[in-house]
Every structure is written in C-alpha cells, then in structure tokens.
Amino acid sequence: MSYVGKPLLAGLIASVSLLGMAIAQAATNPEAADAAYKGNASAIDPASAQVVHTPGAPDLTSAEFDQAKEIYFQRCAGCHGVLRKGATGKPLTPDITQGRGQQFLEALITYGSPGGMPNWGTSGALTKDQITLMAKYIQHTPPTPPEWGLAEMKDSWKVFVQPEDRPTKQMNDLDLGNLFSVTLRDDGKIALIDGNTKKIVKLIETGYAVHISRMSASGRYLFVIGRDAKIDMIDLWAKEPTKVAEIKVGIEARSVETSKFEGYEDKYAIAGAYWPPQFTIMDGETLEPKQIVSTRGMTIETQEYHPEPRVAAIIASHERPEFIVNVKETGRVMLVNYEDIDNLTVTSIAAAPFLHDGGWDSTHRYFMTAANNSNKIAVIDSKDRELTALVDVGKIPHPGRGANFDHPKYGPVWATSHLGDASISMIGTDPEGHPDYAWKHVGTLEGQGGGSLFIKTHPKSRHLYIDTTFNPDAKISQSVAVFDLDNLDAGYKVLPIGEWSGLKDGAKRVVQPEYNKAGDEVWFSVWSGQDEESALVVVDDRTLELKTVIRDKRLITPTGKFNVHNTQYDVY
C-alpha cells in the first residue's frame, strides 16, 4: 500500500529509512491496495514480511505499516500533517504518542473528542482492527514522501480537448447558474446535479476525495481538486459537461482557484499543495504548469525553519491581478501578483500560525481567514495589501468561507463557527458605516456543540445555518442549527436533517449547507460510509421545512456541494 494513494503506486520509493533501518516496501497492485485500505486481508503474508521497528513503538509488519500509511493519508494527514507536526489537529510525533500509550490512542481514535477529533470508531468509519493498527502506527517515526516537481507534473498533465476545438458558446440547455458540483468523496467522482430538477446530470471521474470545486471567472470552466492533488478541468459549455484537461500538482493538496481580476479572467489557475509544500500557477485553459513556488521557510513567531508549511485556502483578488495564498504552518499570507508570470512578485504578510480556510467580507475587499490553532481571524485588505487586524475568536475556527449578514446593532458582520467549541463568532466589517465595531469580535452566538465545519447564509436569506459534522454525539452530528437573523437572541432551532433523509443505517453526518442560485433553498449532504447509502436533503429556506430528498445509489459519500453561480461570484 502506498502513502500517496493508488495513482502513485508505481512511483513510490522502494524503501523507507526508520532510524537507520532500511525497510523494504511492498510493490502492490491497485486491487491489493484497495483491499488493504478497506481493511480486508493483505496480499502479503505477514509471517514472511519484514518488521518495521521504531524504538519505543509496537512493531509492525511492513504490510501493516503500508496499510496504516494509506489510512493516515486518506483520513488523518489533512489535520495532523504529512510529517505529523500538527496544525488543525494536534501533533502526533512519537515523542508525544508513545507517552500517551496504546490504550489512550485507541480510545481517542474510537470516540473522538468535543474539540473536533472525529469519532472514527463509533461512527463505523474505521474497524476495531484498523483503530488498533493506527494507534500503533502513529507511535512510529513518520515516513517522508517524495518531492513532486515540474517533470512529475508534466508527466501527469493531459489535455483531452484543445482550446481551439472547444465550443464558442454553451451547447447544452442546462441552467448552469443553478448547477451543483457535489463531491463524492470516497468514490473518486463528482456528481453534477441540476438544481431545478434535482437530477444527476453526469458523474465525472476525478481525483480521490475532491476537496473543493471552483469556477472560472467566466462561469465556463469548473475546476476540482482532490486530496491526492489531482486537478480536473471541466468545460460546462460542451454538449454535455466534459473533462478537457487534468494534472497532478503534488501528492496531497486542498486548494484551487482561477484569476478573476478584470482583463485576466480565465487566464491563469493556481493550486496549493500540502505535499510538497508549494503552489503552482498554470495556464487557465490547459493547466500547463508555468511556475512552481515553494512555501518552505521560517515561522512568523519563533523564526524557526519549518519543513512542511502547507498551502491552505487560495482566493482570487478582485482589487488587483493577485492570488491570495494562505501558508498554514508559517502563518504567512502571500499576495502573488501574476501580471508578469515569468517574474512573479510575492508579498508576504505576517498573520498568525496555522492559517486554514476563509472568505471575503460582503464588499469583496477584505479576506477573512481563520488561523485555526491560534484561535484568531486574520483580516487582509486586498486593496491596500496589508494586515488590517487579528481578531480573537473561539476554539479552532473553521468557517469554510464564512457568512456575511447585517446585524441590527453592529451593521455588516462576518461570522465563523468552530471545530473546538459551540460558539459562533461575529466580526464587524464596516469601517465606514460602523467604525466602532469594525474588525472587532462584536458578539457570540451559542450553537449545538463543537465539530462544526461550515457556516452559511445568503444575501436573500434571513437564516444562518451551522453544521456540527464532527461532533461525537450522533444526535448533534446528524442535525444542524439554524438562527433567525431577525431574532438572534431567540437562539437556534434544530433541523433533524439525518432523520429527514430517511436513511436507516450509517453515520449520517450532516455537512456543508449550500444555497441554490435563488437563495431560497439550502442543500445538505447526509454522509455515510462507502458501502452505505447517503443522500442530499433540500430545505425550504423560508419555512425551514423539508422540500425534497435526493437519493440515488450513485451518491456515494457526498460531502461538499458548490453551486455554480454562488461559487463564481463569491456569494456567501
């Protein structure tokens, strides 16, 4: 089993050095890799396999080590880091994990924590044997995956339809503005769903665990990026939506964006990698890699070198021809000017460590971005190109893109929910109309609990929705809280989304509210295991009543949903 996942099995290093001991790695085929990840019998006879040994850690066979390495990549690396140094999640280096001990680690993996650690065992996502294996694995020295440069990118780069062979106008009858790109996380696909008919238009093969979908400025091209760092570029103007190009920009990634400044629409695309820590600027019509920029460097506080400063959220400036790039571990926000692609100008702004996700304020001038484990929101002025404020909020803010709405006292505010506690923090964003409240934490709402991934509203809505996807209490993770924006003091109402789905089995985690183009419907994913039925639940935003349930055997592990219009125009 490969750390980098099925697409890179052939490219793995033949051995991993653990404290000077050369360990032979298994060269498995995709079928064996898939079986190992799902917890089935390994193709390697453990009795004949070599043993992986780290002083102080329980021994593992090389087959067990490879299986655990794959599970860690799929489930854990996003929060804890490839090298396990921590970020959104706590560090899991051997000096820490060995001190905790096997039983403690198994219990934590099984039951999770209110601070945002998922309950992998009680939710059924991992078996008891897999949990035992993972508790042993994280007591070992983490292996370092290979680098990924221009040569590897070009080897993976494919253009299926050349720009000159693509249509010059929309050739289908789809209402593209109300189309949804839905991540089918563990199935390696997205589902394009018509927001009017609620029917699947097409399934498209993608990388593993698509993290986000982003629209080009024109609304023509849909870009999706998987956690395996594979980008798929889809032309929505074709007779039926068609993949026209693809590339792998690394081994693990989360973010993709396209240029939106006037005169540069659709000209460039950018993707940020978790491993190797770097970002890549590509041609916006073909994905040809143009520039690769490493983010390795010094942290802003201790000025220590960090070997794994991962690229988290990327957002396209509306004020300048720039991409705004979050570098997680160093705490730096990079303003990447693409006017001269051969001579990039990069301005580094010191913010706070463990930068993660975020979005625009209502004016699209100020980038509101979460510094997870610093418990702060950094406010970046994209016009004046400077840090405006660092605002203290709750524990482990995780806003997605956040939520903008008008507060009766504070005026325009932007809000975030949290992985680590039940609070919803509101920050004033109107320095001209409400200067006394601008860039301050002006108020707190109390939600259902910790474990929230997304908060959402819409300019045409008077409701605010908060999921609690990773709360260890099933009743909370299977529902959402909704506030009346005209009566925030009344507290929240609970919508039993999991129950409304009609599903009988599975974790039924509810994740990511997403509005339709009109702003009168809210879509929720009800996310269960790969071998269980999942669904999408659509709620009438005006009445807060169930409108419809989308159930289709092809909806395997649906998570993120991205409405084309709202994504194209940064509506949230």
Rounded Cα gap, residues 427 and 393, in angstroms: 9
Which of 488, 378, 391 lies closest to 437, judged by CA?
391
Go through 215-253 and write b for each residue having 16 or more CB atoms within 10 A of its CB, e for each that does not. Answer: bbbebbbbbbbbbbbbbbbbbbbbeebbbbbbbbbbbbb
Helix 102-111 and helix 128-137: axis angle, to 10°?
A: 130
Q: Give the CA-trace dihedral at 6, 7, 9, 13, to 10 degrees.
A: -130
Question: How many residues in total does the chain contain?
Answer: 572
Rounded Cα gap, residues 334 and 356, in angstroms: 13
CA torsion sign for 184, 185, 188, 192 is positive
Residues with a known catalytic role: 76, 79-80, 117, 356, 398
What is the H or E stretch that residue 494 is in? strand 492-495
Beta strand segments in 54-199, E: 60-61, 158-159, 179-184, 189-194
- DSSP-assigned states of every residue in 257-284: EE--STT-TTTEEEEEEEETTEEEEEET
Omega cis (within 30) before 276: yes
Name residue 472's amino acid.
P
Rounded Cα gap, residues 304 and 529, in angstroms: 41
CA torsion sign for 147, 150, 155, 158 is positive
SS (H, E, C) 458-476: CCCCCEEEEECCCCCCHHH
Rounded Cα gap, residues 208 and 529, in angstroms: 15
Give 204's strand partners: 190
Go through 42-78 and write b for each residue having 16 or more CB atoms within 10 A of its CB, e for each that does not. Answer: bebeeeebbebbbeebbebbbbbbbbbbbbbbbbbbb
Q: Cβ–Cβ contacts within 10 Å for residue 425, how many?
A: 25
Tokens of 187: 């199935």
What does the radius of gyration of the chain's CA atoms come to, in whole angstroms?
23
